[in-house]
Amino acid sequence: MTNATIQHHEALLDRFGLKVVAHLNEQALPHDISERLRVARQQALTHYKTQTAAQAATSATLSGGAAVLGGGDDMGWMGRIASALPLLALAAGLIAVNMVTNDERAREVAEVDVQLLTDELPPAAHTDPGFAQYLKFGPPGQ
């Protein structure tokens, strides 16, 4: 959830709580019920404060890495360049792998061509249409 969504959700909860308190204040409740509600309200506030403190500690821990790198919401141009470097390194790596793979395939094809052309064949084999088919598609069954 985004920060704005969380704040909106908390505002709705606060508004609901205020409506409940106003409704309860309008009615005269017996003493034992009002005491139980007061204790429950104190426990809810204590729980809310500890939960908010834990969330703040977690948020500070998670944003610590961004603070060290100079990141955060407003990174600036150095932060943007630093965040784009891994993407550029990945793209360069993929291009290098593609080039090496293409070179290996070309070498393999060249080796097969050299073996076929340097092998001793009768002159009639070069004019045979089956031999031309073999050179195009390789041996049958592959």
- Report which of 78, 44, 43, 55 is spatially closest to residue 6, judged by C-alpha positions: 55
What ranges do the domains of the chain cover?
A: 1-62, 71-142
Per the listing, tokens 């090496």 go with 100
Nearest alpha carbon to residue 45 among 13, 84, 76: 13
Q: Which pTM value belongs to this model? A: 0.34
Q: State which residues of the chain have pLDDT below 70.
A: 1, 59-74, 140-142
pLDDT attached to residue 90: 95
List, for residues 78-113, the tens digit of each pLDDT value: 888 888 999 999 999 999 999 999 999 999 988 888
Q: What angle do CA 95, 98, 106 make, to 5 degrees?
A: 140
